[in-house]
Chain A
């Protein structure tokens, strides 16, 4: 693909620089991807994650900025593979642990409980 004019090796393209993986504007490797224009309805999982995020924000427990930062910290391979709300619940969990809202031990116990 080295002759592809859309390849990042082309001189002067912004992404020859150290961009974060979520910073996707104009990134060559996505430029030939088709857009899935089908409507994809949200399921119960999506809605509940969304609601919990909104409540944490309204109650000043976790801001949308902290949510975004947590999503941006997800390793690139996982980020690209995960669905939108899967990233959210991972970031929410990461933030709750970092803030001490619950501990790792409590999370482990809850994962056992909800098996």
Chain B
């Protein structure tokens, strides 16, 4: 189990505006459309080995996984959905 303190429901978080895709082979489960976006933690989903490492058969640290809610209209001006909820690993989240 990861030792980082859990993020409480309602915590505002920002998704890191990072692009590992530009630095070499990788496997990223944070969608491109969320990089740099701000959302709200809905709940903690558990802790799981980091798929970014599993994909290369590397030792994978266990990370907290959160369900985070975003406003689609803040991402796409023409969005028609009301809420967009995405599973994100703690390594991609920072305080907002």
Direct contact of A and B (CB under 8 A): yes
Residues in A whose Cβ lies below 8 Å from that of B21: 18-20
Partner-contacting stretch, out of B4-12, B27-35, B61-69: B27-35
Residues in A whose Cβ lies below 8 Å from that of B22: 18
Residues in B whose Cβ lies below 8 Å from that of A19: 21, 32
Q: Give min CB distance, B22 to chain A, whole Å.
A: 5
Q: How far is A72 from B15 in the complex, measured between Cα atoms in Å? A: 22
Q: How far is A19 from B22 in the complex, measured between Cα atoms in Å? A: 9
- Residue pair B54, A14 in contact (C-beta under 8 Å): no
Residue of A whose beta carbon sits closest to that of B51: A65
Residues in B whose Cβ lies below 8 Å from that of A75: none
Q: How many residues of A contact B (CB 8 A)?
A: 21
Say yes or no: A14-B55 contact (C-beta < 8 A), given A20-B21, A26-B76, A69-B27: no
B contact residues vs A (CB 8 Å cutoff): 19, 21-22, 25, 27-28, 31-33, 35, 51, 54-57, 75-78
A contact residues vs B (CB 8 Å cutoff): 5-6, 12-15, 17-20, 23, 25-26, 63, 65-66, 68-69, 72-73, 99
Other A-B pairs, 14, CB within 8 Å; known A14-B33, A65-B54: A12-B77, A14-B32, A14-B76, A17-B19, A18-B22, A20-B21, A23-B28, A26-B75, A63-B55, A65-B27, A65-B55, A66-B55, A66-B56, A68-B51
